Amino acid sequence: MNLIGIGIDVVEVSRIKSSLDEFGERFQTRIFTEAERAYCQKQKRPELHFAGRFAAKEAVAKAFGTGIGKEIGWLDMEIIRKPSGEPGVQLTGAAAAYATSRGVEQVMVSLTHAKHYAAANAVIMGG
């Protein structure tokens, strides 16, 4: 397996909280899947978890070298929690098609968040 790309992103939690407060449901449904929203909203500080998932999606898009846009949309990526507790990525729609065209075999993410920041790394491997 070869390295296709790596990506990193850091997000200020306050920026995500402001978007959640100002735009509410509209912001959430534009950026996050239904499952992501349900997970984050169950947490003590939802904005931390929304920020982590936002950073993870940005990191994945950077690892692909495309950014968020035509090839990969916000809702074409879902940041999941595997049974082991580690985060994972499910690609659907345009992102899944783009990944297939690039020979992607594995997308890995790592998330972290503190009081004021959330960060994520993404690594994409393929043939």
Note the Cα 55 to chain centre separation in Å.
Answer: 6
Count of Cβ atoms closer than 10 Å to residue 68 Cβ: 18
pTM for this predicted structure: 0.95
What are the structure tokens assigned to 114, written together? 């503190």
Which regions of the chain are under pLDDT 50? none
What are the structure tokens assigned to 25, written together? 């449901």
What are the structure tokens assigned to 119, written together? 């960060």
Model pLDDT, residue 127: 81
As annotated, the active-site residues are 62, 113
Give the pLDDT confidence of 73-99 residue by residue, as tens digits: 999 999 999 999 999 999 999 999 999
Q: Could you give the CA distance from residue 77 to residue 53 in angstroms, rounded to a whole number?
A: 10
Model pLDDT, residue 70: 85
